[in-house]
Structure 1
């Protein structure tokens, strides 16, 4: 297949403690950034095991639990698990992961000190049943928002993603108009003439802007591919435009603080320099409180 060519910067989380200016510019210009070796050793194995447990639960059946989502498999034609929501609530290692200092320092660099964690999910391609993910944007920037800071997902890869299963992106499409993006998404088939594949190894991460066009073809004989998505948004954009209420922002700030503390206590993070979350202005936290829960359903906190 003909593909677009682009020279991606090499980012290795074992060799630096945050993305640098050149890497941040690449992300802002292109809408995505690959970071190698974010997860390793015991942490990677723990998270893989925890997500296997959730996958097995979803495959066995969940009696209509809305956090487990399904689509028709390309090979069997049966309902196949494709997504699990609120993974932080379902797993202690996923709480520890939210406090990852390289990730949080890099999010702060791109969004400023008042960033808020929003969505947390596992998205997967089941073995031999790879469901096509057509070209799409994850969401739109709220109407009327002129703040240019990116809203983006941090995608943690738990399995190898080769050319058969990996994400494809269209570099720079995060800066397209809604009309340009819509026209590209409506083209028939999964054409890749202006796109690039992004192969990944277990423990690697992609930052991807919610506006960048991305997707993946279907698979036949594909191996398992599990990816955990944590989304972050600048607090100023959320406070000004939503979609969540101000109450939600404060609740999620306390979840983040709790997860940072949990990471400090984890045996497998010994020697790591923790992230200091210090939001400013109206987002400053005068007194942290222990979260009452870790699953705050989005639909319960939408603005009217």
Structure 2
């Protein structure tokens, strides 16, 4: 199939057609989401974290390691809670095009949940087998039509040696069909498509879509930072987090939107207005005490 590509410089939000493509296929490519200044700031701050992690961090579960795809050595693969560790990542969460697009797909009471950086180290890219990022919280067969999804910002080029592969439409598959597919031996791409990306591009991908990437051998560095978003009412009803978490993450989102306004690249933007209604309306704005809300501390 042909990729549907959105140019963030030419519109303020994804269109209805683009939203439907995402719902049908489980992913959507957005080009040019980040300008040069913002991209460079994020790259610099994430490189500091990467170098810290690559040197080896003991006793900090936020830094995660795997077996290198070429030598089998211990290699950095992921860093959790990057909003807490980076001012540029706080401002990035307030990105108006992204938030307006998430709102179109989820409604006004959206909340950010996970935030991480995923790394393929040079020449040692760890294989990411076919998988779903999670499961829907509702009973299967009664899924809410609003997607739960990740927003992946690419800080480096992703070519055929290290890019994401996606199986279009697998977000709509049953658990049994998905399990059969990701249980196959090897990294079979016969029913998948590659998604090459440039620095500053973004992928929306549904947590239910099957995706992965092969091991690297000669691959360049690839860093991707991502946020997951969920509708607050689904989170309140099914979890995995409790309602206290929802309220805290709403305040965190508001604080990040405010931080973006003071950035040089934010002053020329039409900022997103976060106005959740109903049970999740915000009546009292409070500055977050922290930007790291550990998932296990707020489990239902």
When the two structures are superposed, what TM-score results if normalisation uses the length of structure 2? 0.98
1:227 to 224, 245, 250: 224
- Give the Cα separation in 2 of the matches to 1:261 and 1:150: 26
Name structure 1 gaps, 5 residues minimum.
1-5
Which shows bigger deviation, 73-82 or 289-298?
73-82
Specify the alignment match of 2:287 in structure 1: 290
2:35 is matched with: 40
| Aligned mates of 1:9, 1:233 — CA distance in 2 | 23
**In 2, Cα distance between equivalents of 1:274 and 1:74:** 42
Q: In the alignment, does 2:233 pair up with 1:236? A: yes
Pick the aligned partner of 2:114 from 95, 119, 126.
119
- The whole-number CA distance in structure 2 between the counterparts of 1:163 and 1:49 is 25
Whether 2:212 is the aligned partner of 1:209: answer no
Q: In the aligned structure 1, how far is the partner of 2:237 from the partner of 2:17? A: 30
Match of residue 76, structure 2, among 52, 74, 81: 81
Q: What is the Cα deviation at residue 18 of structure 1?
A: 0.2
Give the secondary-structure state (helix, strand or coil) at the position aligned to 1:267: coil
* d(CA) in 1 for partners of 2:299, 2:181: 30
Are residues 1:218 and 2:215 paired? yes
Are positions 1:55 and 2:50 aligned together? yes
- Alignment match of 1:169 (pick from 144, 166, 170): 166
TM-superposition CA deviations, 1:43-62 (whole Å, max 9, x none)? 00000001100000001122
Off by >2 Å, runs of 4+ in structure 1? 7-10, 143-146
Alignment of 1:1-304 (within 5 A): 6-144=1-139, 146-303=143-300
Please give the per-residue CA displacement for 1:97-125, whole angstroms capped at 9, x wherever unaligned. Answer: 00000000000000000011000000010
Name stretches of at least 5 consecutive residues in structure 2 with no aligned partner: none
Q: CA deviation at 1:74?
A: 2.0
**Corresponding pairs, count:** 298
Counterpart Cα distance in 2 of 1:185 and 1:208: 17
Aligned CA RMSD, in angstroms, stands at: 0.8
TM-aligned CA deviation for residue 63 of structure 1: 2.0
TM-score w.r.t. length of structure 1: 0.97
